[in-house]
Amino acid sequence: MYLFSFVFLCISISCNAESRYNPPDNIAVDCGSSGPSLAQDGRSWEGDINSSKSFLEILHSNSSVKSQAQTQPSDIHPYVTARISRSEFTYVIPVTSTGPKFIRLHFFPSSYQGFDPSTAFFAVKANQFTLLSNFSASLTAASLGQQTIAKEFCINVEGDRRVKITFTPSETPPNAYAFINGIEIVSIPTNLYYGNDTALEMVYRLNVGGGSISPMDDTGMYRKWIEDDGYYNVIGALPVNLSLKPSFTRIPNYTAPDDVYQTARSMGNDATTNNQYNLTWGLAVDSGFTYMVRLHFCEIEENITKGGDREFLIYITNHIAEPQADVIVWSGGNGVPVYRDYAVIVPQGTEKKQSLSVALHPAGPNPDQPLPPSPATPGRFPVKPKSNRVLIPAITGGVIAGLIVLFVLGLLIYRRGRREKDSLSYVAVDRTKTGASSLPSDVCRHFSLHEIRDATNNFNNAFIIGRGGFGVVYKGCTNGGSNQVAIKRLKPGSQQGAHEFMTEIEMLSHLRYLHLVSLIGYCSEDHEMILVYDYMSRGTLRDHLYNSDNPPLSRGRNASRSASGLPKGCTTFMQMLESNQVSLAAWARSSYENGTLDQIVDGNIKDEITPECLKKFGEIAVSCLHDEGIKRPSMSDVVWSLEFALQLQEIAIDGTTPGGDQEGFKDHDALIFNGKDDEMVENGGQISSNGVTMTSNSGTTFTSSFSGDRMSSGLVFSEIMEPRAR
User: Residue 662: exposed, middle, or buried by beta-carbon count in 10 A (0-12, 13-18, 19+)?
Assistant: exposed
User: Residue 330: exposed, middle, or buried by beta-carbon count in 10 A (0-12, 13-18, 19+)?
Assistant: middle
Report the run of H or E that residue 391 belongs to, with start and end: helix 388-422
Radius of gyration of the chain (CA): 41
Sheet containing strand 312-316, edge to edge, reads 279-286, 353-362, 312-316, 319-325
Using CA atoms in the order 562, 563, 564, 570, what is the torsion angle rounded to 10 degrees? -110
DSSP symbols for 164-201: EEEEEE-SSSTT--EEESEEEEEE--TTSSS-TT--EE
Contacts of 61 (CB under 8 A, 6+ apart): 89
For residues 508 and 445, what is the distance between their CA atoms, to the nearest angstrom?
12
Q: Which residues pair with 122 in a beta bridge?
A: 135, 169
Which among 224, 152, 138, 220 has a CA at the least distance from the CA of 183?
Answer: 152
DSSP 384: P
- Beta strand 206-207 with 226-227 is parallel
Q: Which residues pair with 185 in a beta bridge?
A: 27, 103
Q: Is 615 annotated as a binding residue?
A: no
DSSP 318: T
Q: Which residues pair with 677 in a beta bridge?
A: none
Ranges of beta strands (E only) in 141-269 are 149-157, 162-169, 178-180, 182-187, 200-201, 206-207, 226-227
User: Residue 603: exposed, middle, or buried by beta-carbon count in 10 A (0-12, 13-18, 19+)?
Assistant: exposed
For residues 262 and 624, what is the distance between their CA atoms, to the nearest angstrom?
75
Which among 655, 726, 640, 656 has a CA at the least distance from the CA of 690?
Answer: 640
Contacts of 419 (CB under 8 A, 6+ apart): none
A 10 A CB-CB count for 719 gives: 14
Contact 276, 334 (CB under 8 A): no
Angle, CA of 2, 208 and 28, to the nearest 5°: 50
Contacts of 552 (CB under 8 A, 6+ apart): 545, 559, 560, 561, 562
Contact 487, 455 (CB under 8 A): yes
Contact 280, 457 (CB under 8 A): yes
- Annotated binding-site residues for ATP read 488
Q: Which residues are annotated as a binding site?
A: 488
